Amino acid sequence: MEMIELGRTGTQVSKLALGAMQMGGVTSEADSIRILDRYREAGGAFLDTADCYEWWRHVGSRGGESEELLGRWLRAGNHRDQVFLATKGSAVPAYSPDLWDADGNPDWELARKTFEGAGADTLRHALDGSLRRLGTDHVDLYYVHVDDLGTPLEETLEALSGLVTAGKVRYLGWSNVRTWRLERIRQLCERHGWVAPVALQQQHSYLRPKAGNTSASIVGAEQQDYLATHPDLQLVAYSPILKGIYDDPAKRSGHWMMDNYEGPDVDARLAVLAEVAAELGTTPNRTVLAWLLHQNDPSVIPLIGPRTVEQFEDLIPAVDVKLDASQLARLDAAGA
């Protein structure tokens, strides 16, 4: 697997990252270990998790299952020095029995209203909990998981900078955040001498958000332009294949993931995607990942989160899919 510089840090990471959100939850421990082992065998070394994963899977959970599983895997195989390890804080909701209904389904509206946020003490305690579960004295990348508009940025940034100074974190990142906030964050860091974020984790795929989309979590045209002119801020793209909808027309019909994309632009891009995938003798899902891996303005690190070993094995060949200039141009130009 190819390596790529993370922003302008000088640190090399694998060009395809592996998300562990479902590990310790819907994905069994045995299958999780197999996926992690296969990823390392393929040359992968960029692992991503969060302290909230996956509280919503079990009534009464406070999250941390994914970090605990990764900690066991890291210790068992002495893998810690072989991987670039990222985790996140700020998105654990305040505990309430109302977070789940009688059937065990999570109440996401309530959760979003009660995220613990990015206060200084909250982040310090959250990171210490993550380090304990992961069984390490530091993480390589620490994200603010959900941008917290209720806490002064100065408080958050000073605390995060202190975590780097203390040696508990090497680099900082932000996720689910609007472009104007990124610029404000960067200005404050420059003004006060605080450590600035080097990574932005957002939802990003081949389909473009529909007109009128208001999500702070999806890369739009403005944010893409911002990233292209600030190459020191690395884009890490989560949900790059949108839950696998590219391979299955029946699956994407009515799928909630399509709510932010539906429109005439989708049909036009899917048609060209299918043509190019057929030319390459591969799947649309892999072709999307390959297209993202070819991007350099801005550069993109796709973050896959396979639920099963079979899904991982289906996606990993994407690292060897090569798109020529003509195919890239057609994919880029496609649209209503």
Please state whether 332 falls in left (phi above 0), alpha (psi between -120 and 50) or beta.
Answer: alpha
Contact 123, 52 (CB under 8 A): no
Task: Report how far residue 282's alpha carbon sits from residue 253's, in angstroms, rounded to the nearest whole number.
Answer: 22
Task: Report how far residue 131's alpha carbon sits from residue 138's, in angstroms, rounded to the nearest whole number.
Answer: 7
Contact 218, 202 (CB under 8 A): yes
Ramachandran angles phi, psi of 200, nearest 5° = -125, 120
Please state whether 34 falls in left (phi above 0), alpha (psi between -120 and 50) or beta.
Answer: alpha
C-beta neighbour count of 256 within 10 angstroms: 7
Task: Report how far residue 72's alpha carbon sits from residue 32's, in angstroms, rounded to the nearest whole number.
Answer: 11
Please state whether 53 falls in left (phi above 0), alpha (psi between -120 and 50) or beta.
Answer: beta
DSSP letter for each residue of 158-207: HHHHHHHHTTSEEEEEEES--HHHHHHHHHHHHHHTPPPP-EEEEE--SS
Residues belonging to the chain? 336
Instruction: Strands of 90-168 (E only): list them.
Output: 139-144
Residue partners of 178: CB distance under 8 A and separation at least 6: 147, 216, 223
- Whether residue 298 is preceded by a cis peptide bond, meaning omega within 30 degrees of 0, is yes
Nearest by Cα to 261 from 276, 278, 239 = 239
Q: Active-site residue 53, yes or no?
A: yes
Of the candidates 39, 53, 226, 246, the residue annotated as catalytic is 53
Report, as residue numbers or ranges, the catalytic residues. 53
